[in-house]
A and B are shown apart, each in its own frame.
Chain A
Amino acid sequence: MSVILVFLALITAIAGWWLSRQRLMSKPWLEVGPVTAFPETEAPIMHPAKIGLGVFLAVVGALFALMISAYFMRMVYADWQAAPVPQLLWLNTAMLVLASVALQCAVVAAHKGQRDNLRLALLAGALTSTVFLGGQLLAWRDLAAQGYFATENPAVSFFYLITAMHGLHIIGGLVALGRTNVRAWRGESSAHLVLSTELCAMYWHVLLIVWLVLFAVLMGWAADFIDICRRLLS
């Protein structure tokens, strides 16, 4: 459970930092009147969707942290054998990186009002993400063709489970990204698309980070890294 605890420590640190700016030590019964004296304690004027997505991504982070925790807990049992990781995953990872880059370009284009660039970048993001999903499916087929089904070996079960769960999140994101694409190609002005584009980009960046961590876990690097840390400590 150490992975989820580290993740929660991170969340707690962020929450603690935010709370520390909310004047929790103040004595509210002494402060009658409007609060113009303490503007920082007012609700922030930031689009709620961004805060909402931020909170949602924290939930997604907790979900994957728990899955990795389970992976490490299961790993120490005797029947564990490392699963072969299809080489295709490298290509898929590259695709997801490209998608993230494309969406970042889209954000820049939206802010500058470059409609054509925005359209192209959004489309590129959607296409590379679709290719990523297709690649993941091919990776599954590769594994199955080599005789690794989900029941054979817990490492393989985890591989299917984790990639499926990550893929489902990408599919969910693609729905939102698809809608943004449609709106962009229908000719909505880029000023109206800034928010949607920013939200998509934020979601994709986080899912990319999640994927990189998952990739490291599935490749066995994460376990090696923890081993090294443990040796350094002892």
Chain B
Amino acid sequence: MAIALVLVLVVIGSVLFHVLSPWWWTPIASNWGYIDSTLVVTFWITGAVFSAVVLFMAYCVYRFRHKEGQKAAYEPESRKLESWLTLITAVGVAAMLAPGLYVWKQFVTVPKDATEVEVVAQQWQWSFRLPGADGKLGTSNARLINSDNPLGINPEDPNGQDDVVVEAADLHLPIDKPVKMLLRSIDVLHDFYVPEFRAKMDMVPGMVTYFWLTPTRTGTFEVLCAELCGTGHGFMRGIVMVDTAQDYTTWLQQQSTFAQLTGPAKVGALVDRAKAAATVE
């Protein structure tokens, strides 16, 4: 008997916990409100199903618990009932899947006017690279990485010379401008995760992955690594600041380009190294 009561309490407790507990997602700071909406739809549908199934079960346990002389019904199946239940389930599943796929289509379609920002992860810090005045990022290669060129930017690529390099420091993004985050790792898997942005994606060495977003709220947001990357995984943090257009310009002007960082003399040395690397491969 107690079990019927506990089953009811499980439902009531879960619903109350959901409604009353202070633990909910962080206030959103990007255009991905659709993801939140899909999540809420899923909560409603699944919550209703969970409550219905468990409450029905509690009722059955209460109503049909063993009593002296009771005999169970003999009821091998009911095609009609099973067909209806299948149909209703299929409709419920479709109601979650359809908006999910619709939003996923948006998630994977990067708008044409998005500016590119590169995030480079390594054990256990974040670096960033922004395209310079030409709006293009230079090519890069893990084999070119050394202490002078921590991001492995190809010194022979003219597009790369004016790239803004932000090594192990904060990233700034302008508000309301779509950005395509290009994600690169130079050692193991990492994952660029800002809870307020909702979007995230793994960074895979040897590949460039991406996602896009439009920041919608100014502020300071923490970057966490969301893919196990070794002992320092839990301490791999960074900062993204979403600025007004004016603040952003001020910040950008204080940053150094690849050419400035390496200096003319060093670039020559790097070119030699790049050539050597190219012949090795």
Asked if the two chains touch in their complex, CB atoms less than 8 Å apart, one says yes
A27 to B281, CA, bound (A): 67
List residues of B (103-157) whose CB comes within 8 Å of A's CBs: none
Question: For the complex, is A17 an interface residue (Cβ under 8 Å from B)?
Answer: no
**B residues less than 8 Å from A79 (CB atoms):** 281
In the complex, per-residue mask of B186-210: 1 if CB is within 8 Å of any chain A CB, else 0: 0000000000000000000010000
5 CB contacts below 8 A, A to B, read A27-B76, A27-B77, A29-B76, A77-B206, A79-B281
**B residues less than 8 Å from A27 (CB atoms):** 76-77
List the 4 closest pairs (A to B, CB-CB), nearest first.
Answer: A29-B76, A27-B76, A79-B281, A77-B206
Residue of A nearest to B206 (CB): A77
Question: Nearest Cβ in chain B — how far from A203, in angstroms?
Answer: 40
In the complex, per-residue mask of B59-79: 1 if CB is within 8 Å of any chain A CB, else 0: 000000000000000001100
Chain B positions near chain A (C-beta within 8 angstroms): 76-77, 206, 281
**B residues less than 8 Å from A29 (CB atoms):** 76
A79 to B206, CA, bound (A): 11
Question: Nearest Cβ in chain A — how far from B276, in angstroms?
Answer: 17
Chain A positions near chain B (C-beta within 8 angstroms): 27, 29, 77, 79
Question: Nearest Cβ in chain B — how far from A53, in angstroms?
Answer: 38
Question: Nearest Cβ in chain A — how far from B121, in angstroms?
Answer: 21
**A residues less than 8 Å from B77 (CB atoms):** 27
A29 to B77, CA, bound (A): 10
**A residues less than 8 Å from B281 (CB atoms):** 79
Question: Nearest Cβ in chain A — how far from B182, in angstroms?
Answer: 18
A199 to B20, CA, bound (A): 67
A79 to B143, CA, bound (A): 13
Residue of B nearest to A29 (CB): B76
Question: Nearest Cβ in chain B — how far from A182, in angstroms?
Answer: 52
Question: Nearest Cβ in chain B — how far from A150, in angstroms?
Answer: 19
A77 to B77, CA, bound (A): 54
Question: Nearest Cβ in chain A — how far from B163, in angstroms?
Answer: 23
Question: Nearest Cβ in chain A — how far from B184, in angstroms?
Answer: 16
Question: Nearest Cβ in chain B — how far from A32, in angstroms?
Answer: 12
A79 to B142, CA, bound (A): 14
Question: Nearest Cβ in chain A — how far from B158, in angstroms?
Answer: 23
Question: Nearest Cβ in chain B — how far from A84, in angstroms?
Answer: 20
Question: Nearest Cβ in chain B — how far from A173, in angstroms?
Answer: 39
A77 to B281, CA, bound (A): 14
Residue of A nearest to B74 (CB): A29
Question: Nearest Cβ in chain A — how far from B72, in angstroms?
Answer: 14
A79 to B77, CA, bound (A): 59
A27 to B77, CA, bound (A): 10
A65 to B281, CA, bound (A): 31
Question: Nearest Cβ in chain A — how far from B280, in angstroms?
Answer: 12
Residue of B nearest to A79 (CB): B281
Question: Nearest Cβ in chain B — how far from A200, in angstroms?
Answer: 45
**B residues less than 8 Å from A77 (CB atoms):** 206
Residue of A nearest to B281 (CB): A79
Residue of A nearest to B207 (CB): A77
A148 to B43, CA, bound (A): 57
Question: Nearest Cβ in chain B — how far from A74, in angstroms?
Answer: 12
Residue of B nearest to A27 (CB): B76
A74 to B215, CA, bound (A): 37
A26 to B76, CA, bound (A): 12
Residue of B nearest to A28 (CB): B76
Residue of A nearest to B75 (CB): A29
**A residues less than 8 Å from B206 (CB atoms):** 77
Residue of B nearest to A30 (CB): B76
Residue of A nearest to B76 (CB): A29
A82 to B76, CA, bound (A): 61
A78 to B281, CA, bound (A): 11
A29 to B281, CA, bound (A): 70
Question: Nearest Cβ in chain B — how far from A152, in angstroms?
Answer: 13
Question: Nearest Cβ in chain A — how far from B207, in angstroms?
Answer: 10
A29 to B75, CA, bound (A): 10
A94 to B65, CA, bound (A): 72
Question: Nearest Cβ in chain B — how far from A38, in angstroms?
Answer: 19
A102 to B76, CA, bound (A): 56
Question: Nearest Cβ in chain A — how far from B91, in angstroms?
Answer: 26
A52 to B248, CA, bound (A): 69
A27 to B75, CA, bound (A): 12
Question: Nearest Cβ in chain A — how far from B164, in angstroms?
Answer: 28
A118 to B268, CA, bound (A): 76
Question: Nearest Cβ in chain A — how far from B144, in angstroms?
Answer: 15
A29 to B206, CA, bound (A): 60
Question: Nearest Cβ in chain B — how far from A30, in angstroms?
Answer: 8
A29 to B74, CA, bound (A): 10
A27 to B76, CA, bound (A): 9
Question: Nearest Cβ in chain A — how far from B278, in angstroms?
Answer: 13
